[in-house]
Amino acid sequence: MTEKIIILADGRSRPPAIPPAFEAPTGEVRDRLARPLRDLRISITDRCNFRCVYCMPKEVFDKDYQYLPHSSLLTFEEITRLARQFVAHGVEKIRLTGGEPLLRKNIERLIEMLAALRTVDGKPLDLTLTTNGSLLARKARALKEAGLQRVTVSLDALDDATFRAMNDVDFAVSDVLEGIEAAHDAGLGPIKVNMVVKAGTNEQEILPMARHFHGTPHILRFIEFMDVGASNGWNMKDVIPSAEIVRRIGAELPMVQMDPNYTGETAARWRYADGGGEVGVISSVTQAFCRDCTRARLSTEGKLYTCLFATQGHDLRALLRGGHSDEELAAAVGALWQARGDRYSELRTINTDGLSGSGARKVEMSYIGG
């Protein structure tokens, strides 16, 4: 049974220092391992209407769980102002996540504000969102009209009983499939469908999922179960390596490996030899891709994390609400990125207690944003 623990938001982070002398952003900032800053994931709520057993287990995220108060959340204006500083440093892609991002009221307004930003080359951002799909059928069209370009939808099984057991709120597969179709019809494609594979829980769904999405324009991606946070009881025995997933699918539907779309892409790409579309595998456990990681994460309350497996963030909200100028904010972001040396997955030591090597507790995915 999962140990009952109350996870508080990361209270350890400090406001970052503003460098004493700084220059305006140049559109290119590199960290200690020469990785540029290209992607920003923004968690816009720590709440979710699902209780996926590997992410927000009911035993921990129960009725007594203390979510962030509304006043702690970054406002849309604050999110957009911060995003602008990241874009000035070279960010080209923004993904909204959570929690369940579609639970945030008036999200369309935030999308409109972010869609108005331009990269340093004057291009529109690649603006996307990850969702459990539960509200997508209702919202797809308005999201598209607001300026969202694409969506990624999480779906862990086609078998209804397996899916209901995994989301643990009795949500039906058919409703998510309806959301995917609504998103497709609204022009939010190509749609990526993410399936987290947990050994002994939904691995029997790998082939049914592959068969279902074979021949559609949707890109099915298999994610190795990761040791994020401290509440999901992660164990290496629960991980099905991507190589094994590729082997199982390939035995029935032969596949050919494809080149990445760009350096730093999380998924390794495969296409069906018969022209039936594309599949991706995200091997963050068995084949870590830290050396190409160009992602920064902004938590719901405005803390910057330079790694999904971080134990500590940097309190940008304190700078925002402390009266600092855009130039100072941008300088702080640039300095934080330059100091970044994270490569947790490459250094991962196998443990099952949710503690990192330093003994500090990792922040939850629902808080930092998946």
**Chain residues in the site for ligand SAM (CB under 6 A):** 48, 54-55, 97-98, 100, 130-132, 154, 194, 196, 223, 225-226, 228, 232, 365-366, 370
Residue number with CB closer to ligand SAM (154 or 311): 154
Residue number with CB closer to ligand SAM (294 or 366): 366
- Closest distance to ligand SAM from the beta carbon of 366 (Å): 6
171-196-289 Cα angle (round to 5):
150
- Closest distance to ligand SAM from the beta carbon of 99 (Å): 6
Ligand-binding annotation for 52, yes or no, is: yes
Please name which of 353, 282, 361, 343 lies closest in space to residue 2, comparing C-alpha atoms. 353
Residue number with CB closer to ligand SAM (85 or 345): 345
In our burial notation (b when 16+ CB lie closer than 10 A, e otherwise), range 183-208 reads bbebebbebbbbbbbbeebbbebbbe
Ligand-binding annotation for 55, yes or no, is: yes
- Closest distance to ligand SAM from the beta carbon of 222 (Å): 10
Ligand-binding annotation for 41, yes or no, is: yes
C-alpha span between 115 and 55 (Å, rounded): 29
Ligand-binding annotation for 295, yes or no, is: yes
Query: Whole-angstrom distance between the N-terminal and C-terminal Cα of the chain?
Result: 24
Residue number with CB closer to ligand SAM (85 or 131): 131
- Closest distance to ligand SAM from the beta carbon of 164 (Å): 15
Classified as helix, coil or strand, 253 is coil
Amino acid at site 337:
W
Residue number with CB closer to ligand SAM (310 or 336): 310
C-alpha span between 233 and 38 (Å, rounded): 32
Q: What radius of gyration do the chain's Cα atoms show?
A: 20
- Closest distance to ligand SAM from the beta carbon of 285 (Å): 9
Amino acid at site 84:
R
Structure tokens at 366: 């629902």
Structure tokens at 261: 């779309």
Residue 10 and residue 315 in contact, taking contact as beta carbons nearer than 8 Å: no
Tell me, letter by letter, the H, E, C secondary structure of 68-135: CCHHHCCCHHHHHHHHHHHHHCCCCEEEEECCCHHHCCCHHHHHHHHHCCECCCCCECEEEEEECCCC
Residue number with CB closer to ligand SAM (79 or 330): 79
- Closest distance to ligand SAM from the beta carbon of 49 (Å): 9
Ligand-binding annotation for 14, yes or no, is: no
Residue number with CB closer to ligand SAM (282 or 333): 282
Ligand-binding annotation for 272, yes or no, is: no
- Closest distance to ligand SAM from the beta carbon of 292 (Å): 19
Ligand-binding annotation for 359, yes or no, is: no
Residue whose Cβ sits closest to ligand SAM:
370
Ligand-binding annotation for 48, yes or no, is: yes
Ligand-binding annotation for 67, yes or no, is: no
Annotated binding residues for S-adenosyl-L-methionine, written as ranges, equal 54, 99, 154, 226
Annotated binding residues for GTP, written as ranges, equal 41, 95, 130, 192, 295-297
